[in-house]
Amino acid sequence: MSSDRLLVVGLGNPGPGYAANRHNIGFMAVDAIAEHHGLGPYRSRFQGEAAEGTVSGRKVLILKPMTYMNNSGRAVAAAARFYKIEPEDMIVFHDELDLAAGKMRIKNGGGHAGHNGLRSIHAYVGADYGRVRLGIGHPGDKDRVTGHVLQDFAKADRIWLEPMLDAIGREFPYLVRGDGGAFMSKVALAVNPPKPKRPKPEDSNPPENSDGV
């Protein structure tokens, strides 16, 4: 790692009208991290809202760009320049249409797959940053994608959304230490906990007392 500081970016759109949108799950994720680890308070910096602190012995800068999704790269580049942070020390949390709702995957480098926030970051800092892809599901028709991502999460989504965000915040130290596999496993377990084993039915014909009593 080239920097002692980790830049953790959540993607979304600013303002209360967008706050509960599926497109804003990146904001929700980094808010959960900040809350769990006492980072902050948020301050207006780098064309965004930024919160700082230390997690697992490493300095962490949380950034929520306030530039609107399509210009997210401006804020990311401003923070990266100020702290001399290279792309390999950046992690971006974002919504992912191509993953089922409640699924999460980690990816390093690669294309932006048409995501406008990632497209903007690519343009400013290149492609070699880490991403945490947070599944929101696909509406099934590309003409419905915009409406889908800019709609609020449904009440039914809470069953997976709340456990996922809580686990992202709680298990974030694994990601800081570079153990993405453990981070994914812990979050997946929180979203889909194992079902309790059914107790074995008791024997309906207990053995007779040998004394015949």
- Please state, in angstroms and rounded to a whole number, the distance separating the CA atoms of residues 210 and 213: 8
Q: Is the distance from CB of 75 to CB of 124 less than 8 angstroms?
A: no
Whether 112 sits among the annotated catalytic residues: the reply is no
CA distances from 118 to 21, 151, 163, 193 (A): 17, 20, 25, 31
**Of 23, 36, 37, 94, which is the active-site residue?**
23
* Dihedral over Cα of 32, 36, 41, 45: its sign: negative
Give backbone dihedrals phi and psi of 88, rounded to 5 degrees, phi first.
Answer: -70, -10
* All residues at 6 or more sequence positions from 140 whose CB lies less than 8 Å from its CB, including other chains: none
Q: Is the distance from CB of 106 to CB of 48 less than 8 angstroms?
A: no
**Residues acting as catalytic residues:** 23
